[in-house]
Structure 1
Amino acid sequence: MSLAAASRRKAIVGAALAAVAVAVLGGLATDIGPWYQALKKPSWQPPDWLFGPVWTVIFALTALAGLKAAIAAPDAAARRTIVKVFGANAALNVLWSLLFFRLHRPDWALAEVVVLWLSIVVLIVVVARHSALGAWLLVPYLGWVAFAAFLNYTIVALNGPFGAPMVAGGIAR
C-alpha cells in the first residue's frame, strides 16, 4: 500500500526539512577561515562560492529521491529502512564537515569520505528497490562526493601530516 495523500504531505515536509537540516548543520560545521585559506589547494579546485549551489542542488535531488522511494514503498517497514539509510548518510555527511573544517583533520575526513561514499551506494541500492528515478537522482551526489574525496586526498597530499599544533592564521610546521 502506498502512502495516502495526508501521509504524502507529511513525507514531503519531512524530506524537505531533513534536507534543510543537513544543509544547515553542514554549513555551520564549515569554516573557510584562516586555517582553510592557509591550506595548499590544487589549481583545479572549484571556487569556494560554487560549493553552496552544488550542495543545494544535491540536497534537493537527494530529498526528492527519498520522497519518491518513500511514496513507492509498499509498507511502513520499507519506509523505516529508507529513513534509516538516509539518516545514516546525513550523519556521515555532516561528520565529514566536522572532521575537515572544525577539527582541522583532512586526513581523518579522507578516511570518513570513503564511508560516506559507500553510504551513498547503499542509498542508491535501497532507493532503487522502490524507485528507479529516485536512484538515478542520487547519482550526482555519488559523483560529487567522489570528486570531493579526490580533492580531499589532494589536499592531504599537499599539506600533510596533520595533527600538529595550530597557530593563529595557519598551520604550524
Structure 2
Amino acid sequence: MSTETTRRAPAAGPSPLVSLGCLFIFLGIVFVTAAAGGSVTATSVGGWYGGLAKPFLTPAPWVFPVVWNFLYFMMAIAAWLVWRAAGSFDKAGFALSLFGIQLSLNLAWSIVFFGLKSPVLGVAVILVLDVAIAGTIWAFLHASRLAALLMLPYLAWTLFATYLTVAIALLNA
C-alpha cells in the first residue's frame, strides 16, 4: 500500500454548535468566577476600602467594573481560542490548566484583599497571580497568537493592580 492511500484526512474541528457551546462554557466559568470575586469585593468596597489611604493614579470607583468586565470577556475568548486551536481539551490541557490557576488566583486576591481585608496578603497573592498570568500567556502563545494577545491587557491591568495593592499595603501599614 502506498503512503498516499494510508494518509488520513485532517481531523475536522468541532462542529459550529459544539464550538459555540464551548464558548459559552468558557464565558460562564469566567463570569461566575468574576461574580464570586465581585460579591466578596462588594462587602468591603464601600466601607473598609473607602477608608484606606490610596496611591496616586487610583482610578475612580466606576472604572474597575468596566475594565474588569471587558478583561474577563477577553480572557474567556482567549481560553476558547486555545481550546479550538488545540482541537481538544486533552491537547489544550496544560495551557487551560494554567488559565484555571490564574483565574483561581484572581478570585483568591479578591477574597484575601477585600474579604479578609489584608492588603499585605493581597500583595503576596497578586505577585503570584502576575507570574501565573505571564505563564498562561506563554502557554497560550504556543497554541494561538491571538489568544496570547488577548491576555496582554489583562496582564497590564493586573500589573497596575499590583502597584495599587503594594501602595495600599505600604500606605496603610
The answer, yes or no, to whether TM exceeds 0.5 is yes
Matched, 1:10 2:34: no
Report what 1:91 is aligned to.
104
Q: How far apart, CA to CA, are the structure 2 residues paired with 1:145 and 1:76?
A: 27
Report what 2:49 is aligned to.
36
Report what 1:138 is aligned to.
151
> Does the 8 A contact of 1:61 with 1:137 survive in 2?
yes
Matched, 1:61 2:83: no
Number of positions where the alignment pairs a residue of Structure 1 with one of Structure 2: 160
Q: How far apart, CA to CA, are the structure 1 residues paired with 2:116 and 2:89?
A: 38
Question: What amino acid maps onto 2:20 in structure 1?
Answer: R
Q: Identity of counterpart residues, as a percentage?
A: 30
Please give the TM-score of this superposition, normalised by the length of structure 2: 0.87
Q: How far apart, CA to CA, are the structure 2 residues paired with 1:156 and 1:121?
A: 23
Question: What amino acid maps onto 2:126 in structure 1?
Answer: V
Q: How far apart, CA to CA, are the structure 2 residues paired with 1:79 and 1:11?
A: 13
Structure 1 gaps, min length 5: 161-173
Report what 1:167 is aligned to.
none
- What do you get for the CA RMSD once the two structures are aligned? 1.3
Question: What does the per-residue CA deviation read over 1:124-165, in whole Å, with 9 as the maximum and x for residues that have no partner?
Answer: 1111111101100000000000000011111111001xxxxx
Q: How far apart, CA to CA, are the structure 2 residues paired with 1:39 and 1:132?
A: 40
Q: How far apart, CA to CA, are the structure 2 residues paired with 1:156 and 1:142?
A: 21
Q: How far apart, CA to CA, are the structure 2 residues paired with 1:126 and 1:74?
A: 15
> Does the 8 A contact of 2:95 with 2:139 survive in 1?
yes
> Does the 8 A contact of 2:83 with 2:89 survive in 1?
no
Report what 1:152 is aligned to.
165
Please give the TM-score of this superposition, normalised by the length of structure 1: 0.87
> Does the 8 A contact of 1:3 with 1:72 survive in 2?
no
Shift of 1:84: 1.8
Q: Whose Rg is larger?
A: 2
Matched, 1:25 2:36: yes
Q: How far apart, CA to CA, are the structure 2 residues paired with 1:64 and 1:74?
A: 15
Q: How far apart, CA to CA, are the structure 2 residues paired with 1:118 and 1:65?
A: 18
Shift of 1:35: 1.2
Q: How far apart, CA to CA, are the structure 1 residues paired with 2:75 and 2:47?
A: 32
